[in-house]
Structure 1
Amino acid sequence: MSSAELIRLYLEEQREVMARFPVDDLDRAAELLFETHRAGGTVYGMANGGNAGTVDHFLCDFKHHPFVSEDKTRPLPASVPRLRFVNLCGSPAELTGLSNDLGPEEVFAGALAPFVGPDDLVLAFSGSGNSANVVRALEVARAAGARTVAMTKGDGGKCRALADVCVVVPGTSTFPGQTGGNDNNFHFEDMVLSINHILVGLLKARVAGSLA
C-alpha cells in the first residue's frame, strides 16, 4: 500500500472506533468523576509507556481547566472547590524506588496504598487490561473502597472485573505497528487523550452549572 492509502486506512479505522465507542460506559465514568469532585476526593491516574505521558496531560487539564473562565483569562473564585489529581507515573524517583524495593508489579499499588480512600477515584489505563502493575493497583483501590475506572481494549482483561466502570475501546486494525498482539493500540492511545478532553469538558460544564 502507498503512504496515502495507509493514512486513509488509519483514519477509516479511527472513524470506526469512534462510531462504535461505548458512550454509556464513559457517561458512567463521568458520574464517578463528578461524585469524587463533590466529595472532595482525589483522582489518581496510572498507565504504562506512552499512555503514562498522557496521564501527565490529565493532571494539567483536570487540576486547572475546569476551574478557569471560559476564555481562560482568569481563575474561578476560590470558593469553587478544585479537584486534586495525582499522577502515579509522574516521579521517576518514586517509580524506580518502588520498583527496586517492592518489585515492578507494585509500583502503582505501593504509591497508592497509604493514601487512597472511599472518596477517591482511580483511573487505570491498560491496552491489554492485564498490565500487572495496573491490576495490583486496582486491587488496592477496591480494597480501600475507592471508585475505579479502567480503560482497555480487546476483551478488557482482568481490569474489566476490577473496575466499577471499564471503558473498552472497540475495533481491530491492520495498520502497521498495531497488529497482532499490539492490535489497535494506536487507536487506543488516541482515545485515551480523547477521553481526557471529554471528561475535562464535562467537569467544566458541571462546575459551571451548565450540564443538564
Structure 2
Amino acid sequence: MSTAELIRLYLDEQRAVLAGFPVATLDAAADLLFRTYDAGGTVFGMANGGNAGTVDHFLCDFRHHPFVTEDKAKPLPADVPRLRFVNLCGSASELTGLANDLGPDEVFAAALAPFVRPGDLVLAFSGSGNSRNVVRALQVARDAGARSFAMTKGDGGRCRELADLCLVVPGTSAFPGQTGGNDNNFHFEDMVLSVNHILVGLLKQRVAARAPAAPAGSAR
C-alpha cells in the first residue's frame, strides 16, 4: 500500500471505531464523575506508556478547564468547588521508588491505598485490560469502597471484571504498528484523549450551570 493509502486506512479505521463507540458506557462514566465531584471526592488516574502522558493531560484539564469562564479571561469564583485529581503516574521519583521497594506490579496500588476513600473515583486505562499494576490498583479501589472506571480494548481483560464500569474500545486494525499484540492500540490511545475531552467538556457545562457569574474585575 502507498503512504496515502495507509493514511486513508488509518482514518477509515478510526471512523469505524467512532461509529461503534459505546456512548452509553461513557454516559454512565460521566455520571460517576459528576457524583464524585458533587460529593467532594477525589479522582485518581493511572495508565502505562503513552497513556500515562495522557493522564497528565487529564490532570491539567480536569483541575482547571471547567473552572474558567467561556472566554477564559476570568476564573470562576473561589467558592466554586474545584475537582481534586491525582495522577498516580505523575512522579518519576514515586514510581521508581515503589518499583524498587515493592516491585512494578505494586506501584499504583501502593500509591493509591493510603489515600483512596469511599466516594472517590479511580480511572484506569489499559489496552490489554490485564496490566498487572492497573489490575492491582483496581482491586485496592474496590476494597476501599471507591468507584472505578476502566477503559480497555479487545475483550477487556481483568479490568472488565474489577471495574464498576468498563468501556471497551471496539475494532481491529491493519495499520502498521497496531497489529498483532498491539491490535488497535493507536486508535485506543486516540480514544483515551477523546474521552478526556468529552468528560471535561461535560463537567464544564455542569459547573457553569450551577456557578454564579464571576465578579467583575477578577480577570487573571
The normalised TM-score by structure 2 is 0.95
- 1:71 offset after TM fit, Å? 1.3
Classify the secondary structure of the residue corresponding to 1:209. helix
Looking at structure 1, the residues matched to 131 and 71 of structure 2 have their Cα atoms a distance apart, in angstroms, of: 39
Q: Which residue of 1 aligns with 2:217?
A: none
- 1:209 offset after TM fit, Å? 1.7
Classify the secondary structure of the residue corresponding to 2:53. helix
Classify the secondary structure of the residue corresponding to 2:94. helix
- 1:11 offset after TM fit, Å? 0.1
Percent sequence identity is 81
Q: Please list, as runs of the form range in 1=range in 2, the aligned pairs for 1:107-146 lying within 5 A after superposition.
A: 107-146=107-146
Classify the secondary structure of the residue corresponding to 2:69. coil
Q: Which residue of 2 aligns with 1:179?
A: 179
- 1:208 offset after TM fit, Å? 1.3
Runs of 4+ aligned structure 1 residues displaced above 6 Å come to none
Flag structure 2 segments of 5+ consecutive residues without an equivalent: 211-220
Q: Please list, as runs of the form range in 1=range in 2, the aligned pairs for 1:34-113 lying within 5 A after superposition.
A: 34-113=34-113
- Cα displacement string for residues 70-100 of structure 1 (whole angstroms, at most 9, x for unaligned residues): 1111110111110000000100000000000
Computing the radius of gyration from Cα coordinates, the structure with the larger value is 2
Classify the secondary structure of the residue corresponding to 2:109. helix
Flag structure 1 segments of 5+ consecutive residues without an equivalent: none
Q: Which amino acid aligns with 2:86?
A: V
- 1:119 offset after TM fit, Å? 1.6
Looking at structure 1, the residues matched to 111 and 13 of structure 2 have their Cα atoms a distance apart, in angstroms, of: 37
Q: Which residue of 2 aligns with 1:152?
A: 152
Q: Which residue of 1 aligns with 2:208?
A: 208
- 1:4 offset after TM fit, Å? 0.2
Q: Which amino acid aligns with 1:75?
A: P
The normalised TM-score by structure 1 is 0.98
Q: Which residue of 1 aligns with 2:21?
A: 21
